[in-house]
Amino acid sequence: MNEESSIPFEGERASRSAESVLKVRDLTRLAKEVLENSFPSVIVEGEISNFKRHMPSGHLYFTLKDEEAQVRCVMWRSDAARVRFDVADGMKVIVKGRVSLYEPRGDFQLYAVSLVPAGQGALQLAFEQMKKKLEEEGLFSEEHKKPLPRFPSRIGIVTSLEGAAVRDIISVIGRRFPAVELLIFPVKVQGDGAAEEVAAAIRDINKMSDLDVLIVGRGGGSLEDLWAFNEEIVARAIYASKIPVVSAVGHQVDFTISDFVADVRAATPSAAAELVVPDRMEVTAGIASAMRVIRRAVGQNIDRLELELEKLSHHYALRQPLSLVDQKSQMVDELARRMESQTQFYVETVENKLSAFTKHLNALSPAAVLARGYAIVEDSRGIVSSVRKLNIGDQATIRLSDGTLDSQITGKHEQGI
């Protein structure tokens, strides 16, 4: 290093090797290497002057200075794109970058990779600037805001599939009013490219004609995390949306540019879900009350109809069927009565017959025959039913109803046939 930094005099040239004589480009290259190796990353605070945005390249050129010194700064377009506020002369900023040397001019320069305002937060400043710009353009105007449908049937959600926001929205809508379809358009909600994805999703969803409302948002996070929703591209996509948009970014206290452009701002994703659907219980109560009103309202007509019917029912034509029934029922009674008396008659007949039969049986008994004046003749062998069974002189017993007579046969007269 010492060798190279001491520029050789012309007179010494002969005594030194040819290689040690440097060309300007060698010097600047060496100096550049030294600078780059010594200051690969520095953070410097200073005031901006001579600010220039080169077009069309988009690179930023400025000088950073303080009371005693200044340094030239460059910021390439790719880095400049991440600067979230409008840079201007006189601004106090903190620059992060690396030191190098611009060989064509031999200038030592700071190559800035990030630029934030000193003091006030860069994001806050950017937010205020964007808000002012879009407000002046009329993107927040009340006249442009669309009303939300009372009873949406298809609800679009532009958010991350992984975040808490989507879970909150699903759970609230599922509980409040599940008679809907939720269409989730998954997007990146933070980091590089998030704003572009959100904006593209809003534009794409607008090509689907049958969505009733759109929730765009994410759960809580740092200002940096929520940044996509402060980007101009998202704001313009929301403004251009034909479908009403509810913005639902972060927590209650977080306000984003999206909130101002959206048709309705919800404090949180859960609040957005409550805004887009009614409460099922309230709707049910409303329907029940409509039913009561309808019933009551037609009540008078129904009453009149009933009166009509009442009158008609007294009409002979309507009474006729009833009297027929009466007749039939009378007939049934009659038959029942007749059946009863028939049975009675039968029973009596049987009883009479039985009584007659008993009398007949009595009439056949020997005692009854004897009582009528007949006699039974018996001998030692039993009843004598023929004169031939007894001879003159035989002993016989004559049985009468009240006793017996002992007798001896004294004569015998056989009856001729």
Contact residues: another protein, CB under 8 A: 149-151, 153, 156, 161, 170, 173-174, 177-186, 204-205, 207-208, 210, 212, 280, 283-284, 286-288, 290-291, 293-295, 297-298, 300-301, 304-305
CB of 274 to another protein, least distance (A): 15
Type of residue numbered 175: R
Nearer to another protein, 205 or 272 (CB): 205
Nearer to another protein, 64 or 205 (CB): 205
Nearer to another protein, 290 or 347 (CB): 290
Strands 213-218 and 264-266: unpaired
CB of 258 to another protein, least distance (A): 20
Q: Which two tokens stand for residue 201?
A: 């999703």
CB of 193 to another protein, least distance (A): 15
Nearer to another protein, 298 or 331 (CB): 298
CB 80 within 8 A of CB 97: no
Residue 2 has φ and ψ, to the nearest 5°, of -60, -40
CA 298 to mean position of chain CA atoms: 35
Nearer to another protein, 308 or 348 (CB): 308
Type of residue numbered 172: V
Please, what's the b/e burial string for 79-92 (b: 16 or more CB within 10 A of its CB; e: otherwise)? bbeebbbebeeebe
Nearer to another protein, 196 or 379 (CB): 196
Residue 229, helix vs strand vs coil: helix
Relative orientation angle of helices 316-364 and 280-313, to the nearest 10 degrees: 70
**Nearest to residue 44, comparing CAs of 6, 97, 91, 121?**
97
CA 94 to mean position of chain CA atoms: 51
**Nearest to residue 219, comparing CAs of 167, 276, 274, 275?**
167
Nearer to another protein, 200 or 390 (CB): 200
CB of 204 to another protein, least distance (A): 6
Nearer to another protein, 122 or 211 (CB): 211
CA diameter of the chain: 220
CB of 314 to another protein, least distance (A): 21
Q: Which residues pair with 264 in a beta bridge?
A: 246
Residue found under tokens 């205020």: 128
CB of 174 to another protein, least distance (A): 4
CB of 43 to another protein, least distance (A): 41
CB of 289 to another protein, least distance (A): 9
Residue 220 has φ and ψ, to the nearest 5°, of -70, 160
